Homo-oligomer: A and B are copies of this chain.
Amino acid sequence: MLKYQQIASEIEKYIVDHNLQQGDKLPILETLTAQFAVSKSTITSALDLLERKGIVFQVRGSGIFVRRHKRKGYISLLSNQGFKKEMEESQPTSEVIELDVVKPTQEVMDNLNIGPEEDVYYVKRIQYINGETLCLEHSYYNKAIIPYLNKEIVSESIFHYIQEGLGLKVGFSDMYLQADKLNKEEAEYLGLEPSDPKFCLEVIFHLTNGQPFDYSKNIYNYKQSQFFIQAISHY
């Protein structure tokens, strides 16, 4: 982690610890520079990072302000964005239904950018939150990039393993979202009725070099899932 990233984490922690709310003003640049004992350019880089992550907004000539939505229990769609603590408090757990090496379907080939002869790890899991089903996950990992997975790894955080265990650098992701009706199998896994609504989230994760390594299709229990995005300005 670079210095400015570390400072960004500390400012984020400061916001949480002081329970700052949306619109609350952060100390001025000079105060932050003195407080963290780093250069002005490091603080500026840290604040730019926090702005890109949707955690603060900067008003020219006026100061730096906190962004923090008021609603509880929403899942952030931009991973690692916002305040991890909130999610950790609800203690999600997961159950592995299936772990297999398979040949990719056309859909998996298209999304992972691979040919029919390649192998993929298929992981089917159910996630639980507050004792209720949160989602049914179907994940496909390119085996040429993720050469080994086992039940222990996939019942914990796969991303932790990919980053810490394999030393791979996770980059950007493409997400596709829509509402639809549950099919019979999905309804059974989620404890809902067939043709109840579902929130579908497909995510293709890429390494920082642009290679897609994980294609996941997540079917969320509509009664347990609400999502949020703190979008930055593109105007």
Q: Is the CB of A231 within 8 A of B175?
A: yes
A80 and B233 alpha carbons, distance in the complex (Å): 9
A: interface residue count bin: 35 or more
Binary contact track A160-202/B, C-beta < 8 Å → 1, others 0: 0001000001111111111111000000000000001111000
Copies of this chain in the oligomer? 2
Q: Is the CB of B53 within 8 A of A169?
A: no
Residue of B at shortest CB range from A229?
B175
Residue of B at shortest CB range from A220?
B179
**Partner-contacting stretch, out of A27-35, A67-75, A148-156:** A67-75
Give the B-binding residues of A (Cβ under 8 A). Answer: 22-23, 52-54, 57, 59, 62, 65, 67, 69-71, 74, 77-81, 110, 113, 163, 169-181, 196-199, 206, 208-210, 220, 222, 225-235
Could you list 18 A-B pairs, sorted by A, with CB under 8 Å?
A22-B210, A23-B113, A53-B234, A69-B174, A70-B110, A77-B177, A78-B229, A169-B235, A173-B231, A175-B231, A176-B228, A177-B229, A178-B199, A178-B225, A179-B225, A181-B197, A197-B197, A208-B233
